[in-house]
Amino acid sequence: MNDIYAIIFDLDGVICTTDKYHYLAWKALADSLGLPFDEKVNGLLRGVSRMESLEIVLGEHSADYSQEQKTALAARKNEIYKSYLSAMTPGDLSKEVRSTLYTLRQRGYLLAIGSSSKNTRQILRQLGLGEFFDAVADGTMITRSKPDPEVFLLAASMLGVRPENAVVIEDAESGVRAAKAGRFRAIGIRTEGNDPNSDITIRHLKNLTEIL
């Protein structure tokens, strides 16, 4: 890829496997409410904010809950999710991800996180990446979550690069759409077959070192 100076990584499902904890926490909440929930519904939540995810989980039952009840349900899901996060250590950062990040940094790229998650800072700290990235844009700093490009535009501006000079790495369709809406180039990871919008799709994060 030409003229790329910066790489903006999604967090959940790209840097770490916290996507599986999101799944388990939503599943526990949905089960307690007697609502159906499976991997397919979970796929729709990737990249989407907590409250918007709750609306998808509630589906046609959304109108049965008041705003206060919804806030409480989202908080309950987050408590379950955080109980999984609390057990995470730097050992949960895969060797592959670690070495890919260090190789890309050595090659001179600016590296950032662009995540819808309000738990981003905690996750990075627990993985031992608290100080690693040149910029971190997350769910606490934005008003519109993916597929809106806000979080990626914020990351690019924090880095001082233009979208045309940055590539976004995403596992979510909403994230790839956000990247394209912001005029970034987009690499989809594990999105083969269901993401016609990404410029390139790769199977593993380490494949980045063959492209960048």
Q: Which residues pair with 165 in a beta bridge?
A: none
Among 7, 8, 12, 49, binds Mg ion (CB under 5 A): 12
Q: Does 138 bind Mg ion (CB under 5 A)?
A: no
Q: Does 118 bind ligand BG6 (CB under 6 A)?
A: yes
Comparing CA positions, the residue from 201, 195, 158 lying closest to residue 177 is: 195
The minimum distance between CB 32 and ligand BG6, in angstroms, equals: 17
Please name the residues in contact with 207: beta carbons below 8 A apart, sequence gap of 6 or more: none
Annotation marks residue 138 as catalytic = no
CA atoms lying within 13 Å on the CB side of residue 164? 1
197: phi then psi, degrees, rounded to nearest 5: -85, -25
Cβ atoms 22, 42 nearer than 8 A = yes
Cβ atoms 45, 22 nearer than 8 A = yes
Among 101, 111, 117, 163, binds ligand BG6 (CB under 6 A): 117
121-180: which residues touch ligand BG6 (CB under 6 A)? 139, 172
Residue 198 interacts with which of Mg ion, ligand BG6, none, CB < 5 to 8 Å by class:
none
165-194: which residues touch Mg ion (CB under 5 A)? 171-172
Amino acid identity of 39? Answer: E
Nearest residue to Mg ion on Cβ basis: 13
Per-position x/- string for 25-54, each x denoting binding to ligand BG6 as judged by CB under 6 A, each - no binding: --------------------xxxxxx--x-
Instruction: Return the ∠ at Cα 173 (arms to 172 and 174), rounded to 5°.
Output: 90
Among 24, 35, 43, 78, binds ligand BG6 (CB under 6 A): 78
Annotation marks residue 134 as catalytic = no
The minimum distance between CB 135 and ligand BG6, in angstroms, equals: 16
Place of tokens 């190789």: 103
Q: How far apart are CA 143 and CA 151, in angstroms?
A: 9
Residue 116 interacts with which of ligand BG6, Mg ion, none, CB < 5 to 8 Å by class:
ligand BG6
The token pair at 36 is 């159906």
Between residues 121 and 183, which has the closer beta carbon with respect to ligand BG6? 121
Q: Which residues bind ligand BG6 (CB under 6 A)?
A: 11-12, 22, 45-50, 53, 78, 115-119, 139, 172
